[in-house]
A and B are shown apart, each in its own frame.
Chain A
């Protein structure tokens, strides 16, 4: 392209079906832009992203030989790629197109000021036209891809993702923080709605995973460091030793596991039972070698001394395993809401348990062998309260110290509660079951059947209002241990007192404590504390940083099938990257003007991405001189170096200083 050739620009203004045009006079914007320097086409469309409108743009590029285009529409997060692809189809370099956001940045925030909004939209488009004046053709940066995936979390979502990757021909490293695989699902009894046995389901997956030569499993392992970029992440994983010798005499192991000298609450049974220092959560857990709880001893040496060197190998050391992966899946799961002291009697009365605890009680392999009793006392009445720690309302619920309220619905507790209630009724028809709810949310496939069956089986329902939570106290009549008082909307706001011997709180889900990962990987967290996807419909299992994916309850409360579905969906997206030997990155990176660079290193000091800039030695006029060089794959295009360079020797491709000045000039007109 010769320098003196005048640019031919096209402007395309989108109505967004009223989202923009209800506020901004799009026709007027297009009309104004038509008279801007170099603009040969200026048009509007109801939906610029629609196929016919894209074709219109393509035709216009071809017919009018456009060499710069500006699309004024929604956020570039939604549709920058859409129009880049349209430009490519028209034979135009995609970086000669500029996206202007006149929806989120104009119509949605200036709803009542039509004229000013139209003026602002025009200014922004004018700025984009100015920016395009200095735009040059750019080409994506090609990088090699490491065909390996890293999955963080060994629960059902992580296991699913690992299996799917491996079946897809992509080797995987699966990292689990605790000493055993299986996550929360292994703590369940039967799963709704299929009534499959939870540990059979998860056991099947674990067997597949551990016998898969393409899956490397690391337990007691934590990700300590992550660097790199899509296609080429590098993670350091700290793996704690097992200490228990896998080859140890089984009798010795058995004896150690039964040793009740040092005991602590068994987390697998949510503290309903105790476990020893050498432990396995359940029979058949993986790995088969039990774990050693070193914290119960003063030191490892003490443990070895007490348990014997035949069992404990105290020479084992923590190891750091380095993993190179083209993509990372976060399947870090959830934690459970812990009710506040005396919230619905929790902590104040031994007869108040959480639903996950109750599920352990129902489990024939659980701490009571499936027998229902509280401290040996017989149970005649059971109550369930829904929405404990979910759907919390400001002014009604008190936030716990250092925490905020959980306004969201935890999605699975309604069906899980009714499943448990129904199981009680089926096993013990004589027990009276009371259910206190806000709304029954048996939304999923076959879930409603639990509701109808529970009602038919005689479960009594009480609907409480947001602002009238049930209260729990001692039953003074002596009929039962506790009494739940509720204002029941189903009986037209009658105040009712319900005696219960056992009260089950359907506690909600909370995000896992993954603060370390969040800061390590700069993960986006939503207002609810869960990890945030880019867009719930456009990119539902992707995080903002390319190559990072979400699976399961790290994103939001989900049922098991939803979590495994999300894991498989994440693999579909990741396979798009990992199935290729090279991928393309945006070319918006710093570039050094070697004529001007004096090698002073101000850019290096300003750069916050390790390895993105390096100082190299070059020969200049027979002398060795220092000069900055950009590692384009590591540069994120933040521009810090541009601001730091005293000689204007460094610039950002796609947003050069000259282009930015042109934008400012255009707005200042």
Chain B
């Protein structure tokens, strides 16, 4: 549950409210360990809640994420702070951690807001909706999406014209411009870092247009276009709303690429491209879909079979490196490709829409707040990872999910479980038996 008053002592602090953080928090709380989950965004759910469907089962992402969100949201042993950042964590002599968290203002009273969105309807300022990859609109006062938890409005003060219309229409007088940053100190028994990823910036691949070509988009944007109730309502291309007939995926567009400092494989791109291609061929049965690749890395359980299914569905897999992407006079992206299977000749293929399978980079630098370090790629450095995954250099601080290295949802969920076990066992080693804390927290409940 979102907490009105932050507990000043918890068993575990989980940083990041995406799928890894939610899973770790749930696995801990289900062992009666009291958790504080801190999310920097306005709502929890991370990247996964924004996805369309997930490989290899093709379950809708929302069907898997929403119940996990609900479980976290209603768990009596989990408190959630949104719009909050962990700024300092220090290990104490007693093995516990002193944590400083900055709660940023929502400019909406969390207890009063009923999520009716009257403020959003009344707000006159249109902004690109980050949740929709910038394609859809939102207002300055907004709830990011219908499944968001918490269902509370936020006012984006940086983009606020300060007209006061929200104040006027709010039925519960929840708008509160007096809020400011608030610092809270929390004493935590253990810390789990689950701070996730961002995509490599398109601007770094100038040979692919550097983000200036409207019909060359990233895979997370495509997820939104494919999602139910996505920004366009249908699969359309962003430059002019055309129903695309010919769609291409460019693999390793920002991974396995020394030139932009991402020499590693981002691990999920092959599979999400195949998945999106399958979904596209479902919604656009007559469209040509091509995947330009170096190696197809369908390594997980049932992944190779998924890849073979995609080939059988008629999706074109073209081995070849895309050297350059530019635009023709009608705004169609043109790919210059060296095709390995056709004698290595260089072709220029025109498509309506191109999706770049950009690489994955860490979303957060933990060195800014925690006494741990990053590895050579910027992810959380781990130790004894072969036999004791999720450990960092500091005993008591654990890490899970893409914060550690790129990985898919299945592997993230499993690693989050491993981090939960490590963290729970650390608490026991510190002789802070969770059973005792439970009694304590129940007493606190009564005292409230």
> Which residues from chain A sit less than 8 Å from chain B, CB to CB?
15-19, 46-47, 49-52, 54-55, 74, 78-79, 81-82, 85-86, 89, 156, 160, 164, 167-169, 191, 194, 196, 201-202, 204-205, 390-391, 393, 407-409, 411, 439-449, 452, 463, 489-490, 492-493, 526, 528, 530, 535-538, 540-541, 555-556, 560-562, 564-573, 575-576, 579
Contact = CB atoms under 8 A, between A and B. Distances in A.
A50 B256 CA distance: 37
Nearest to A14: B63
A17 B418 CA distance: 32
B374 interface: no
B62 A408 contact: no
Given A537-B59, A538-B64, A572 B146 contact: no
Given A160-B387, A571-B421, A530 B301 contact: yes
B57 interface: yes
Contact of A164 (B296, B405, B425): B425
A407 B306 CA distance: 10
B137 interface: no
B379 to A, nearest CB: 8
B74 interface: yes
Contact of A560 (B387, B404, B417): B387
Contacts of A202: 387
A556 B300 contact: yes
A561 B299 CA distance: 15
18 contacts: A17-B62, A49-B66, A49-B67, A55-B151, A74-B63, A168-B428, A441-B295, A442-B265, A492-B340, A530-B301, A537-B409, A538-B64, A541-B417, A565-B417, A569-B416, A569-B420, A569-B421, A572-B27
B115 interface: yes
Nearest to A83: B67
B183 interface: no
A114 B83 CA distance: 44
A167 B395 CA distance: 15
B73 interface: yes
B246 to A, nearest CB: 24
Contacts of A47: 62-63, 66, 146-147
Contacts of A390: 304
Given A168-B428, A194-B386, A54 B296 contact: no
Nearest to B115: A52
B340 A490 contact: yes
B298 interface: yes
- Chain B CB count within 10 A is highest, among A54, A441, A442, A449, for A441
Contacts of B379: 445
A617 to B, nearest CB: 43
Given A46-B229, A51-B70, A408 B417 contact: no
B24 to A, nearest CB: 9
A492 B343 contact: yes
A388 B341 CA distance: 23
A539 B151 CA distance: 27
B69 interface: yes
Contact of A391 (B27, B256, B304): B304
A160 B386 CA distance: 11
A538 B27 CA distance: 12
A449 B410 CA distance: 24
B428 A52 contact: no
- Chain A CB count within 10 A is highest, among B54, B57, B70, for B70
Interface string B404-448: 111001110111111011101100110001000000000000000
Interface size class of B (residues with CB under 8 A): 35 or more
Contacts of A493: 341, 343
A127 to B, nearest CB: 23
Interface string B383-395: 0011111100000
A201 B386 contact: yes
B147 A537 contact: no
Nearest to B28: A572
B264 interface: yes
Nearest to B412: A537
Given A50-B70, A52-B115, A537 B425 contact: no
B31 A16 contact: no
Q: Closest 8 interchain pairs by CB?
A: A569-B417, A17-B228, A568-B418, A445-B405, A439-B295, A556-B301, A50-B147, A167-B425
Given A50-B70, A445-B404, A564-B387, A17 B229 contact: yes
Contacts of B267: 443-444
B289 interface: no
B30 interface: yes
A406 B390 CA distance: 31
B30 A576 contact: yes
B263 interface: yes
B32 A579 contact: yes
Interface in B321-358: 340-344
Contacts of B405: 444-445
Given A489-B319, A560-B387, 6 more contacts: A17-B60, A17-B62, A52-B146, A169-B428, A565-B417, A579-B32
A274 B131 CA distance: 63
A463 B344 CA distance: 14
B70 A49 contact: yes
A49 B63 contact: yes
B373 interface: no
A89 B390 CA distance: 34
A446 B264 contact: yes
A281 B177 CA distance: 72
Contacts of A536: 56-57, 301-302, 410
Contacts of B388: 160, 564
B250 interface: no
B297 A443 contact: yes
Nearest to A411: B299
B31 A572 contact: yes
Nearest to A79: B67
Contacts of A50: 62, 66, 69-70, 146-147
A85 B300 contact: no
Given A52-B146, A194-B385, A564-B386, A89 B343 contact: no
- Chain A CB count within 10 A is highest, among B28, B304, B405, B406, for B304
Given A47-B63, A82-B67, A448 B264 contact: yes
A568 B64 contact: no
B135 interface: no
B418 A439 contact: no
B212 interface: no
B411 A562 contact: yes
B301 A441 contact: no
Contact of A561 (B229, B385, B406): B385
Interface in B295-320: 295-305, 308, 319
B247 interface: no
A25 B390 CA distance: 46
Nearest to B419: A568
Given A52-B151, A565-B390, A568-B390, A82 B424 contact: no
B227 interface: yes
A635 B344 CA distance: 66
B429 A569 contact: no
Given A167-B425, A572-B418, A448 B147 contact: no
B149 interface: yes
B402 to A, nearest CB: 11
Contacts of A51: 66, 69-70, 73, 147, 149, 151
B410 A537 contact: yes
A407 B342 CA distance: 27
A570 B416 CA distance: 11
Nearest to A532: B301
A568 B340 CA distance: 43
A393 B312 CA distance: 12
Contact of A449 (B263, B299, B302, B413): B263
Contacts of B298: 409, 441
B263 A573 contact: no
A50 B420 CA distance: 25
B226 to A, nearest CB: 10
